Structure 1
Amino acid sequence: MSNPATKQRTIAKEVILKGVGLHTGEDVTMKFVPAPENHGYKFKRVDLEGEPVIEADANYVVNTQRGTNLEKNGVKIQTSEHVLAALVGMGIDNVMIELDSPEPPIMDGSAKYFVEALEIVGAVEQEASRDEYVVQEVISYKDDETGSEITIIPADEYQVTTMVDFGTKVLGTQNATLERMSDFKKEISDARTFSFLHELEMLLENGLIKGGDLNNAIVYVDKEISEETMKKLEKAFGKEKLSVKPNGILDNLTLHQPNEAARHKLLDVIGDLALIGTPLRGKVIANKPGHFVNTQFAKKLSKKIKVEKRNSVPKFDLSQPPLMDIHKIMAMLPHRPPFLLIDRVLELSDSHVVGMKNVTMNEPFFVGHFPGAPVMPGVLQVEAMAQTGGILVLSTVPDPENYLTLFMKIDKVKFKRQVVPGDTLIFKCDLISPIRRGICHMQAYAYANDKLVSEAEMMAQIVKRT
């Protein structure tokens, strides 16, 4: 699932942008703040008591009218997509987005100013690898009501194609494609949001788009425009004179590209799919995308990734000589039979370890643990995972024989299946954060018969023997 060659990135320092929210019309200050590894994207409402944090997670999407809106414990973030698209487009993995209002500044209706701000402060590489989801099969979501559909297919890198058709003469059918995320700034970032005249009239009547002057939205005139409506628009947007250009848009601004609408929809897709919480490696093809279909697809893919991560069983050739046999393990770990619960170490890097245990009927614990129907105690599975993790943390010191590994915390322990005599257990431990001051925080899994049998998040510390 991950591509070890690519490291996670955050920004080098804080950067602030000021503007107004498109729908709230409120002045807003937004600050991008560097964040630690595996943090992802999170919003912090600094204007509220306790400064609550909302993760950029598809499961918090509550509304997709006029933007992708998130809510957690009554705290809201509106129109999150342009900011998130900028972060993905610039290859930033971990950032806290601080806001003193429910909505990021709309700026010019694109992601251009966010990209420029991120570029000014620059990115820094972090130690942990970026955990990409590598698409292996075709995955789709279709909204039968609108005919909108999103599909992702295998590809060598993250690519997006959007096809837009609103059934209007003025806009027609448009396509846009981003072959490489490194081209986001040049190809996509300045594509501005757009609206149709009939939508604008409704929004004005309902008191929405308070922050929307015509400098941050392209308005496509999809119907005859009466003199009365034109006067209303001129008043709403503080313009002395408005007219319709030959290409069917209001004359407040000039298109950056003929297919700017399709490019903006592509920008929205990237922003909405950031809510999956995992970088993608695959080609997205979005036909008539919108925030509803985008976020429904994000929820579906997020769920699939979680299930696959939980059930992904590492494959190892057990006929090959191990990296560490029982003698090397005993030279490093202080444990001894009957409490030494790993037989081999198959893999070891600076961020993960894989161990193995053959469970036989001769295990001393079977004598008392259901002798008539022997089952390996769950606590001993956790202990075996911890010993495997002990190898990882002890490998960071030159004299491991002089250290002990002690538990600090065990969390989120789950037992999925019984482990019985004859099973070969594979233990995989991955660092959640880098080892610091001898403290190891890791996610551990145990597998048998190509199935996940138990899992736990654990923290341990190595201490010098006295």
Structure 2
Amino acid sequence: MKQRTINKEVILKGVGLHTGANVTMKFVPAPVNHGYAFKRVDLEGEPIIEADAEYVVNTQRGTNLEKRGVKIQTSEHVLAALVGMEIDNVLIELDAPEPPIMDGSAKYFVEALEIVGAKEQDAEREEFVVKDVISYKDEATGSELTIIPAETYQVTTMVDFGTKVLGTQNATLDNLSDFKEEIASARTFSFLHELEMLLENGLIKGGDLNNAIVYVDKEISAGTMKKLEDAFDKKKLSVKPNGILDNLTLHQPNEAARHKLLDVVGDLALAGTRIRGKVIANKPGHYINTQFAKKLAKIIKAEKRNKIPQYDLTQPPLMDIHQIMDMLPHRPPFLLVDRIIELSKTHVVGMKNVTMNEPFFIGHFPGAPVMPGVLQVEAMAQTGGILVLSTVPDPENYLTLFMKMDNVKFKQKVLPGDTLIFHCSLISPIRRGICHMQAYAYANNKLVCEAELMAQIVKVKETK
């Protein structure tokens, strides 16, 4: 399946649950491989925090992210809406540290995304296909998340709140296409004993009885009721026969379990990759959800690192050495790409046969020849140069110049007789001739080198 973003920007306004401040939030279309990220437009430099489990710093009353001192609170409902609507790339602009709470569900976010609609992008969607059972258990609470192989992304939550008013509840999402109807409108909830503590500590300034279900799990005194009436600016509150404060009507009898499922979907979005598997969550909460997301992220990263692409090298290349020399200014012995196998707007695949005749073997460990790592990086850069030069009509008039390289890692030796495959893909769109890409080199079905590379194409006359 192709990646998807939204057709155009859409704005929502409301108040933050914890701050009580007015919030304007904007969903903005984003390029391929962007994923989800939050931008604080109210701060200098408009810093961006990626929706990444690495940035989770606190899970009390929501999943809270922080990067370089910049915070985002209660991210989970917005992320759940994006996953539920099967949208891959969106920038979420905020003029406050948290999204608007709305009615405590993902309903209004889903509706906003539905209004602007989604569009396919020119890149395949990455998906983590679960092949083995993966689990994470919190021994202190007994909470446990497990994921098992399945044909689609599915989630089942089983919750036991240990109270008579709620007891045990279950909820299941068999397919993301059911998210809007089955899960999105499930609102957040709180128990009375939690609410009293939150109000006393000033932690729920934007809360009212329209965005949180309050379950009364203890005897309520006249004094406490008066405090709640003042906090919620209500003349009269009461406890209904179903144990809910005031007159808020449940959408479903198991709305609490459905909301816990919504939270699981939002929190697991922090793993950074679409999931194909069935999640079984027993007593889920933001802490265990995000710990599980971190575990999944590590597994996914290792799988990506070790996943070796396969190409049929017996097929005619997309570009042979003559076509490469028509585009690249390099010449032997410093031309380090023999063939181009694939080329799109966002990626390129090249190949080099490493032979004992390479001039660098004469002086580089002549008794035990090894291809220098810097030349492996140069070969990846030349392959990436094909990608960036393919965007101009006269590539012969341009040079590709290195700007920087990051996260360079050498995994295996490259020896005479090896066939190197280079895969370079854009990290961000090419702008003003600047190309930022992730590059990998493979040989003998192993990853031998990887790096983030940035280069710029300039006209030949500009370099003189």
Q: TM-score, normalised by structure 2?
A: 0.89
Amino acid at match of 1:105: P
Consecutive unaligned residues of structure 1, counting only runs of 5 or more, are none
Task: Tell me the number of residue pairs that the alignment of Structure 1 and Structure 2 aligns.
Answer: 460
How far is the alpha carbon of 1:438 from its aligned partner?
6.8
1:16 is aligned to 2:11: yes
Structure 2 vs 1, CA of residues 306 and 228 (structure 1 numbering), >3 Å: closer, same or farther?
same
Amino acid at match of 1:204: L
Instruction: Give the structure 1 partner of residue 189 of structure 2.
Output: 194
1:218 is aligned to 2:220: no
Aligned-pair Cα RMSD in Å: 2.7
Structure 2 CA distance for aligned equivalents of residues 219 and 366 of structure 1? 73
Q: Equivalent residue of 1:127, what SS? A: strand
Is the 2:6–2:113 contact (alpha carbons within 8 Å) kept by the matching residues of 1? no
User: Which one of the candidate residues 367, 376, 382 is aligned to 1:381?
Assistant: 376
Structure 1 CA distance for aligned equivalents of residues 79 and 347 of structure 2? 30
Instruction: Give the structure 1 partner of residue 451 of structure 2.
Output: 456
Structure 2 CA distance for aligned equivalents of residues 197 and 322 of structure 1? 68
User: Which one of the candidate residues 124, 129, 153 is aligned to 1:129?
Assistant: 124
Is the 1:11–1:92 contact (alpha carbons within 8 Å) kept by the matching residues of 2? no
Instruction: Give the structure 2 partner of residue 257 of structure 1.
Output: 252
Structure 2 vs 1, CA of residues 245 and 340 (structure 1 numbering), >3 Å: closer, same or farther?
same
How far is the alpha carbon of 1:346 from its aligned partner?
4.0
Is the 2:319–2:339 contact (alpha carbons within 8 Å) kept by the matching residues of 1? yes
Structure 1 CA distance for aligned equivalents of residues 248 and 376 of structure 2? 65
Q: Equivalent residue of 1:293, what SS? A: helix
1:168 is aligned to 2:163: yes
Amino acid at match of 2:52: D
The answer to which of 417-426 and 184-193 deviates more is 417-426
Instruction: Give the structure 2 partner of residue 66 of structure 1.
Output: 61
Instruction: Give the structure 1 partner of residue 405 of structure 2.
Output: 411
Structure 2 CA distance for aligned equivalents of residues 134 and 395 of structure 1? 33
Q: Equivalent residue of 2:257, what SS? A: helix
Amino acid at match of 2:211: N
1:228 is aligned to 2:207: no
Structure 2 CA distance for aligned equivalents of residues 430 and 31 of structure 1? 28
Q: Deviations over 1:406-427 (max 9, x none)?
A: 2343421332332222333222
How far is the alpha carbon of 1:22 from its aligned partner?
1.5
Structure 2 CA distance for aligned equivalents of residues 437 and 166 of structure 1? 56
The answer to which of 270-279 and 354-363 deviates more is 354-363
Instruction: Give the structure 2 partner of residue 185 of structure 1.
Output: 180
Amino acid at match of 1:66: R
How far is the alpha carbon of 1:220 from its aligned partner?
1.5
Q: Deviations over 1:207-266 (max 9, x none)?
A: 332221111111112223333333332332233332222222223300001111111011
Instruction: Give the structure 2 partner of residue 285 of structure 1.
Output: 280
Structure 2 CA distance for aligned equivalents of residues 410 and 208 of structure 1? 44
Structure 2 CA distance for aligned equivalents of residues 119 and 12 of structure 1? 11
Q: TM-score, normalised by structure 1?
A: 0.89
Instruction: Give the structure 1 partner of residue 264 of structure 2.
Output: 269
Is the 1:11–1:121 contact (alpha carbons within 8 Å) kept by the matching residues of 2? yes
Is the 2:105–2:188 contact (alpha carbons within 8 Å) kept by the matching residues of 1? yes
How far is the alpha carbon of 1:391 from its aligned partner?
4.4
Instruction: Give the structure 2 partner of residue 44 of structure 1.
Output: 39
Q: Percent identity?
A: 82
Instruction: Give the structure 2 partner of residue 307 of structure 1.
Output: 302
Is the 1:10–1:36 contact (alpha carbons within 8 Å) kept by the matching residues of 2? no
Is the 1:12–1:124 contact (alpha carbons within 8 Å) kept by the matching residues of 2? no
Q: Deviations over 1:14-33 (max 9, x none)?
A: x3222222222222222223
1:365 is aligned to 2:343: no
Q: Equivalent residue of 1:204, what SS? A: helix
Structure 2 CA distance for aligned equivalents of residues 436 and 55 of structure 1? 21
Instruction: Give the structure 2 partner of residue 247 of structure 1.
Output: 242
* 1:409-448 matched pairs, under 5 angstroms: 409-412=403-406, 413-433=408-428, 440-448=435-443
Is the 1:76–1:102 contact (alpha carbons within 8 Å) kept by the matching residues of 2? yes
